Structure 1
Amino acid sequence: MKKLLLFSALFISFLTFAQVPQGISYQAIALNSSGAPVVSSDVRVKLSILDSSSSGTILYTETQLKTTNAQGLFNLVIGQGTLVSGAFNTINWGNNSKFLKVEMDASGGTNYALVGTTQLLSVPYAMHAASVSSIAGNTNINDEIIENKTSNIGFIDLYDNKVYVYTSTVGTWSSQSFNANASPQLIESNGNFAFVDFYDNKAYSCNGKTGIWSSQTFNPNASPDLVTSNNNFAFIDFYDNKAYVYNTKTGIWASQTFNSNASPDLMESNGNFAFLDLYDNKAYVFSTKTGTWLSQTFNGNASPILTATNGNFAFLDLYDNKAYIFNGKIGTWSSQTFNSNASPTLITSGTN
């Protein structure tokens, strides 16, 4: 028996016709142990879809008998072979990574040898659409997308001294009382709501997913302004020398102390917040990724200027000759040294 090798390519080619696609085109060249094509021969292929990893749970298995051409090439459609186990049309392509395991018998029998297991790096959109359709019934994928969009509603009752928010994801109203002397302004960010009660000295936020209210007390002498950024809210208390951020991912407020002589300006970018403490010589960033504040020290003679783009923050220390950047995706600071004679200028470029 010849030992078969495969040079293969997985083509994301859909069988659309007038129905939801139920197949993925697969093309391969069968090679023998010497690297020569196995031509004009019957081969039987066993194909399995595995969940999460190359050794994960087998979701589906089929076999197909194919005849190679004069170049050793054969084509098949995964999902249209002889069923061994599972159901191709119930695979949830949108949940976890998927792997394709290929086995083959060169004689066309059932004495399979493992060819290899490869991750499906590009799961067809139409197959994911089929998964949604199977869950939701015979609905159109566009209908599913529209129905999964939500809008929360909020309003203030200045006579009963309450703010009401309707949260679509849970389908309920929730309320938050405020001081009878207050006339708060309700602000929103991507379905989340917040307001400040200057009489009870509290900032309130309502989580747009859970409908749960959270509060943060501030100094009675402070009159903080709320800043919004991509679901989150923040403010500075210049009397207690603290910056506060409400993180919708964790549903809690987090604070960072700064020097009592400092009057920092709060900067936002894609849900992250940052400020400079020019007295303690530190740059602080609140990371939505980690849910914590992280700092970077700079030279005491430097007066750096923060730059923000796409959740990242950067500045130059012209005394220690370093450029610093906070990576919003991984939640860490990194630095790069430059020549002591240089006076570089930071240029930002957002990526798609």
Structure 2
Amino acid sequence: MAFAQVPQGISYQAIALNAVGQPVASANVGVRLSILDDSASGTVLYTETQIKATSAQGLFTLVIGQGTPVTGTFSGINWGMNSKFLKVEMDVAGGTNYAAVGTTQLLSVPYAMYAGNTASVAGNASINDDIVANKNANFGFIDTYGNNAYVYNVDTNAWSVQPFNVNASPTLISSKGNFFFIDTYDNKAYCYYAKTGTWSFQAFNENASPSVTESNGNFGFVDTYDNKAYVYNAQNGTWSFQEFNMNAAPSLVNSKGSFGFVDTYDNKAYVFNRKNGAWSSQSFNVNASPLLSESNGNFAFVDTYDNKAYIFNGNTGSWTFQQFDENASPSISISETN
């Protein structure tokens, strides 16, 4: 499988194989291609179909974006937001009885799609300039006398306002075009969602004075009176929460839009995974008090009483563990990959 980039689409080349792994030579094959958002199981942004002739070796070439659209439009894909994945399905008989071939992340497509826009850029503007021009750059400020938070959205060319309590003096926190502030008098956390240009809020206990943690467009805070950790998910513009033991006062650990914390009273580690928008837990020994490590949306901890090292995989949204010798007290080392 090979990829190349052109302004009006994405070149794709592959060898068609039949059910027993032999090349489909000198024949027509039906291909269905889908662009998925953020993960290999993400939202389908665009789907098209094509019929292509193979060579004597089973090789065929096509340009994604030049087929027959089924869902969405190729030009409507926002390559600058989230990762993009290509799902390929094929009918080697040339019909529409498609079978899955595979799903692959498009690592460099955003740059190519932005490069395709340079024809409309005046003068000697560079590809770099065009990329910068397409990035989000929203602006916000707090009016403590008018008791309003204002945000200007560059994409929609519109202002949005959110009132707050007359006694409050909130601080505006920004992340990836979104904005967040806490009104400690009305006991509400407010978030501005750049995709829709709207505000939403999450109420918290009147005795709480939470601190916000931001990560990759998402926001989180802990309400130690209602015993809940809240996360605002910028993937879909919704709030979610995870309850914890009333005696616990956990701290949020953030990583690439995901959040985690340890409840040492219920003996569980919790992780909010930004990719699937769900909370997941992992139990540990009642005598353990593990520390949560993070890297690129993944989390890890060591249980020295059950002799296990636990990893939360942010791609699969699941926990896994490795047993170790009962006499060992290992520390987790992290080696980040691209």
Both proteins in one fold, TM over 0.5: yes
Q: What does residue range 22-41 of structure 1 map to in structure 2 within 5 Å?
A: none
Partner of 1:159: 145
Q: What does residue range 297-308 of structure 1 map to in structure 2 within 5 Å?
A: 297-308=283-294
Between Structure 1 and Structure 2, whose CA radius of gyration is higher?
A: 1
1:349 aligns with 2:335: yes
| CA spacing shift, 1:119–1:101, aligned 2, 3 Å | farther
Partner of 1:279: 265
Tell me how far 1:50 sits from its aligned partner: 3.1
- What's the C-alpha RMSD, in Å, of the aligned pairs? 4.2
User: Partners in 2 of 1:164 and 1:350 — Cα distance?
Assistant: 38
Partner of 1:139: 120
Matched residue type, 1:294: S
Tell me how far 1:232 sits from its aligned partner: 0.8
One of 142, 148, 154 as aligned partner of 1:168: 154
Partner of 1:32: none
User: Partners in 2 of 1:308 and 1:161 — Cα distance?
Assistant: 38
Q: What does residue range 1-352 of structure 1 map to in structure 2 within 5 Å?
A: 50-52=31-33, 59=50, 61=52, 90=66, 96-97=86-87, 129=112, 133=116, 138-139=119-120, 142=127, 145-352=131-338
| CA spacing shift, 1:286–1:138, aligned 2, 3 Å | same
| CA spacing shift, 1:261–1:78, aligned 2, 3 Å | closer
Structure 2 gaps, min length 5: 16-24, 35-46, 68-73, 78-84, 94-100
Contact 2:11/2:64 (8 A) holds in 1: no
Q: State the Cα deviation string for residues 196-232 of structure 1 (Å, max 9, x = none).
A: 1111111101112111211111112211111111111
Partner of 1:70: none
TM-score where L is the length of structure 1:
0.68
User: Partners in 2 of 1:147 and 1:178 — Cα distance?
Assistant: 33
Give the SS at the match of 1:145: helix
User: Partners in 2 of 1:22 and 1:250 — Cα distance?
Assistant: 27
Give the SS at the match of 1:265: coil
Contact 1:89/1:131 (8 A) holds in 2: no
User: Partners in 2 of 1:300 and 1:57 — Cα distance?
Assistant: 53
* Paired positions, count: 290
Give the SS at the match of 2:310: strand
| CA spacing shift, 1:257–1:60, aligned 2, 3 Å | closer
Contact 1:49/1:98 (8 A) holds in 2: no
Partner of 1:38: none
Give the SS at the match of 1:299: coil
| CA spacing shift, 1:298–1:186, aligned 2, 3 Å | same
Q: State the Cα deviation string for residues 260-283 of structure 1 (Å, max 9, x = none).
A: 221212111111111111111111
Give the SS at the match of 2:131: helix
Contact 2:114/2:131 (8 A) holds in 1: no
TM-score where L is the length of structure 2:
0.70
Tell me how far 1:290 sits from its aligned partner: 2.2
Tell me how far 1:24 sits from its aligned partner: 7.5
Matched residue type, 2:306: D
Contact 1:170/1:210 (8 A) holds in 2: no
Give the SS at the match of 1:346: coil
| CA spacing shift, 1:24–1:345, aligned 2, 3 Å | closer
Give the SS at the match of 1:260: coil
Give the SS at the match of 1:52: strand
Matched residue type, 2:166: A
User: Partners in 2 of 1:309 and 1:96 — Cα distance?
Assistant: 25
Partner of 1:6: none
Tell me how far 1:101 sits from its aligned partner: 9.3
| CA spacing shift, 1:159–1:332, aligned 2, 3 Å | same
User: Partners in 2 of 1:265 and 1:124 — Cα distance?
Assistant: 34
User: Partners in 2 of 1:310 and 1:130 — Cα distance?
Assistant: 25
User: Partners in 2 of 1:310 and 1:122 — Cα distance?
Assistant: 16
Q: State the Cα deviation string for residues 97-133 of structure 1 (Å, max 9, x = none).
A: 5689999xxxxxxxxxxxxxx989799979x958984
Contact 1:100/1:119 (8 A) holds in 2: no
Q: State the Cα deviation string for residues 126-182 of structure 1 (Å, max 9, x = none).
A: 9x958984xx69436936534432211111122221111122333322111100111
| CA spacing shift, 1:129–1:195, aligned 2, 3 Å | closer
Partner of 1:108: none
| CA spacing shift, 1:11–1:96, aligned 2, 3 Å | closer
| CA spacing shift, 1:300–1:97, aligned 2, 3 Å | closer
User: Partners in 1 of 2:299 and 2:10 — Cα distance?
Assistant: 46
User: Partners in 2 of 1:23 and 1:241 — Cα distance?
Assistant: 49
| CA spacing shift, 1:184–1:280, aligned 2, 3 Å | same
